[in-house]
Structure 1
Amino acid sequence: MYDDLDIFAAVVEHSSLNRASRQLNLSQPALSRKISKLEERLGVALFTRHGKRLELTEVGRLTYTYALEQRQQRSRFLEALSKFKEGEPLLVTLGASLTTLQTTLPPLVNAYMEKFPAAELKLITGKTHEIVSSVSEGKSDVGIIASMVQEPGLRCIPLFEDQLRLVVSGQHPLALSAKLTMDDLSRLPMLLFSKGTWYRRLTDDLFQRSGIEPDVRLEIDSFEAIVRLLPTIKAAALLPKSYLRPELLNGGGLVSLYIKELEQTQRTTCLIYRDDGALSTAARSLVQVTEEIYLSRHE
Structure 2
Amino acid sequence: MLLQHLITFCRVVEEGSFTRAAQVQNLTQPSVTKQVGALEDHLQVQLFTRQGKQVHLTPAGELVYDYARQVIHLVAQCEAAVQELRSPGSGSVTVGCVHTIGLFTLPDLLAAFVREHPRVKINVRTGNNRETVAMLLHGEVDLGLITTPQVHERIDVIPLFEDPLVAVASPSFAADLPPVLGNADLARLPFIGYVRGARFRNTIDQILEEMGIQPKFVMEFDNHEAIKTMVGLGFGVALEPVSAVQRELDGGQLVRLNVPGLPRSSRTTSLILRRGERRSAAVNAFLALLERRYAVAINPAP
| Superposition TM-score tier, normalisation by shorter sequence | 0.5 to 0.7
Q: Which residue pairs with 1:70 in the alignment?
A: none
Q: Which residue pairs with 1:106 in the alignment?
A: 107
Aligned CA distance change for structure 1 residues 210 and 105 (closer, same or farther; 3 Å) = same
- SS state at 1:132 partner: helix
Aligned CA distance change for structure 1 residues 227 and 252 (closer, same or farther; 3 Å) = farther
Q: 1:67-88: per-residue Cα shift (whole Å, max 9, x none)?
A: xxxxxxxxxxxxx998653432
Deviation at 1:184, TM superposition (A): 2.5
Q: Which residue pairs with 1:151 in the alignment?
A: 152
Q: Which residue pairs with 2:291 in the alignment?
A: 291
Return the alpha-carbon distance in structure 2 between the equivalents of residues 202 and 164 of structure 1.
10
Map 1:1-299 onto structure 2 (within 5 A): 85-173=86-174, 177-245=178-246, 247-251=247-251, 253-295=253-295
Return the alpha-carbon distance in structure 1 between the equivalents of residues 292 and 258 of structure 2.
28
Return the alpha-carbon distance in structure 1 between the equivalents of residues 289 and 214 of structure 2.
42
Q: Counterpart of 1:271 in structure 2: which amino acid?
A: L
Aligned CA distance change for structure 1 residues 203 and 133 (closer, same or farther; 3 Å) = same
Contact 1:168 1:175 in 2 (8 A): no
Return the alpha-carbon distance in structure 1 between the equivalents of residues 208 and 130 of structure 2.
25
Return the alpha-carbon distance in structure 1 between the equivalents of residues 260 and 193 of structure 2.
20
TM-score by length of structure 2 reads 0.65
CA RMSD of aligned residues (A): 2.4
- SS state at 1:122 partner: strand
Q: Counterpart of 1:178 in structure 2: which amino acid?
A: P
Deviation at 1:212, TM superposition (A): 0.9
Return the alpha-carbon distance in structure 2 between the equivalents of residues 281 and 196 of structure 1.
41
Aligned CA distance change for structure 1 residues 83 and 153 (closer, same or farther; 3 Å) = closer
Aligned CA distance change for structure 1 residues 197 and 174 (closer, same or farther; 3 Å) = farther
Deviation at 1:168, TM superposition (A): 0.5
TM-score by length of structure 1 reads 0.65
Sequence identity of aligned pairs in percent?
A: 31
Contact 1:94 1:122 in 2 (8 A): yes
Contact 2:170 2:253 in 1 (8 A): yes
Q: Counterpart of 2:288 in structure 1: which amino acid?
A: Q
Deviation at 1:267, TM superposition (A): 2.1
Question: How many residues in Structure 1 have an aligned counterpart in Structure 2?
Answer: 216
Aligned CA distance change for structure 1 residues 221 and 114 (closer, same or farther; 3 Å) = farther
Higher deviation after alignment, 259-268 or 188-197: 259-268
Return the alpha-carbon distance in structure 2 between the equivalents of residues 199 and 190 of structure 1.
14
Aligned CA distance change for structure 1 residues 258 and 141 (closer, same or farther; 3 Å) = farther
Structure 1: 5+ residue stretches without partners? 1-79
Return the alpha-carbon distance in structure 1 between the equivalents of residues 255 and 113 of structure 2.
30
- SS state at 1:234 partner: coil
Return the alpha-carbon distance in structure 2 between the equivalents of residues 227 and 107 of structure 1.
20
Q: Counterpart of 1:282 in structure 2: which amino acid?
A: A
Contact 1:144 1:270 in 2 (8 A): yes
Q: Counterpart of 1:239 in structure 2: which amino acid?
A: E
- SS state at 2:271 partner: strand
Return the alpha-carbon distance in structure 2 between the equivalents of residues 239 and 175 of structure 1.
21
Deviation at 1:254, TM superposition (A): 1.3
Aligned CA distance change for structure 1 residues 124 and 206 (closer, same or farther; 3 Å) = same
- SS state at 2:88 partner: coil
Q: Counterpart of 1:257 in structure 2: which amino acid?
A: L
- SS state at 1:244 partner: helix
Q: 1:117-160: per-residue Cα shift (whole Å, max 9, x none)?
A: 22222211112122112112211110000123221121111101
Deviation at 1:275, TM superposition (A): 2.1
Q: Counterpart of 1:241 in structure 2: which amino acid?
A: V
Contact 1:175 1:255 in 2 (8 A): no
Give the greater-gyration-radius structure (CA).
Answer: 1
Structure 2: 5+ residue stretches without partners? 1-80, 297-302
Return the alpha-carbon distance in structure 1 between the equivalents of residues 258 and 85 of structure 2.
48
Contact 1:190 1:215 in 2 (8 A): yes
